[in-house]
Amino acid sequence: MPSIDRSLPNTGHRYIPQITSLELPPSPNQELMPLTAKVNSNDNLEIGGCELQQLVEQYGSPLYILDEFTLRTACRQYRDSFATYYGGESQVIYASKAWSCLAVCRIIDSEGLGFDVVSGGELYTTLQAGVNRDRIYFHGNNKSAAELELAVEVGCTIMVDNWLELDHLAEMSEREEQQSITIMVRITPGIECHTHEYIRTGHLDSKFGFDPNQIEEVFAYIHKHSNLNFIGLHAHIGSQIFERQPHQDLAGVLVDWMKKAQGYGLPVTTLNVGGGLGIRYIESDDPPSISQWVKAVSQAVEQACQDASVPLPKLIAEPGRSLIGTACVTAYTVGSHKKVPELNTYIAVDGGMSDNPRPITYQSVYRAVIANRMSAPVTEKVTVAGKHCESGDVIIKEASLPKTKFGDILVVLDTGAYNYSMASNYNRIGRPAAVVVSEGEANLIIERETYHNLIERDRLPERLVKR
């Protein structure tokens, strides 16, 4: 295998040059840039064979740029790693809350993955993208009656999160001529992990899932309702996790509950270990690779099943961020500068918290480059500020960059997960466009919102129409 230089010019930071047939793709979640990223002869950044400056000229900015190769590579590494390391049946499902749109769903569906949806809107999107109901799992801690009705009508698997849902579904299953409803039960496992408190979901004090002390009561209830087709258990411990031990501990907890369910005449055929594998947002981040994570989880489940003398269940994992996070970048155009002597230098871009709310919400950190001058030496540390009327609208507090100028293309890396999906119209700013790039071709997958889009659902009462 030929050696390749992964250093960003004059910075010591890493990037991924064009992948050739002689190279095995690295694990996308361990990289800062999409796998097809390279610097061309014009000193401009290319992704998917497309020059980012030209993409901004054609589609405007801010602009989400999704690399299809990186997304497909992550899908295949998850799928193939489970086939390699797990001795039973497995299914990888995409946690679509990371980014749900028709094109993303279609690409992931074509790789054979299933879908974790958490709302009627996400369910509708996956269906419109052509996803088979057998590979859709409906999550959420407060599904509405209408959402439950839709899920039952569609025939997807429903992840039951609480007693209210369980009662509703039991009632629906007993209606005349009602077919059985396929369910799994989500349980809070009581496992802590080192991540932001807002994205820890496995500890006992969580809004998600049944309390472990209630689980036997839940099993007894389900046993009494024969039209509830109970197939398995689910737990999720959090997001952006670099540790492997919490997921290994989770295997033992789930298999223990699996054995308890058998005592109530409920053979568990499926275990869902959730997702949560982290990605590399900055140089110091060091997550395990996709294959390392899958191997650890698979071996832990197999060992737990062997210790409990139970057969291997179908094993489901539901990654989101580690599938799509690295595959996308966001391109901005640099605008105004402000220097505060002896304190700070601000550079403003034409987007911010409305297209990436994660820094102001989770104190998330990112890495940026100047895409139109990739070899320019890094000479300053600046604050990259958004354009919104909010002091906290800062994308990167301490960004190491070349000296920037008006019109430069500043690209923030690793923006595929939770950026578009959490975007807003704060300050009445339209959400950006998105393109997917592959082999030198760019295709629009989300149109840029116009001023008209911002008001098209507004309504004026009749008494306000006449002045």
- Condensed to tens digits (0 to 9), the pLDDT of residues 25-58 reads 899 999 999 999 999 999 999 999 999 999 999 9
pLDDT band of residue 204 (cuts 50, 70, 90) is low
Work out the average pLDDT over 54-64.
98
d(CA 251, CA 271): 9
d(CA 231, CA 269): 6
Residue 390 token pair: 């909010």
Beta carbons within 8 Å of 170's beta carbon, 6+ residues apart: 221, 225, 227, 228
Return the percentage of the chain with pLDDT > 70, whole number: 90
> Which class is 1-467 in CATH?
alpha beta
User: What type of residue sits at position 408?
Assistant: D
DSSP 280-322: -SSTT--PPPHHHHHHHHHHHHHHHHHHHT-PPPEEEE--SHH
Residue with tokens 């969580």: 206
pTM of the model: 0.91
Q: What is the pLDDT of residue 178?
A: 66
d(CA 371, CA 403): 13
pLDDT over 60 (residue 375)? yes
Output DSSP code: residue 7: B
Return the percentage of the chain with pLDDT > 90, whole number: 80
Buried b (16+ CB within 10 A) or exposed e, 289-323: bbbbbbbbbbebbbebbeeeebebbbbbbbbbbbb
pLDDT over 90 (residue 174)? no
Q: What is the pLDDT of residue 6?
A: 38
Q: What is the pLDDT of residue 463?
A: 87
432-466 per-position pLDDT tens digit: 999 999 999 999 999 999 999 999 999 999 889 87
pLDDT over 50 (residue 12)? no
Q: What is the rounded average pLDDT for all residues in the chain? A: 90
Q: What is the pLDDT of residue 240?
A: 82
**Domain ranges, ordered by start, for the chain:** 1-467
Clarify whether 389 is annotated catalytic: yes
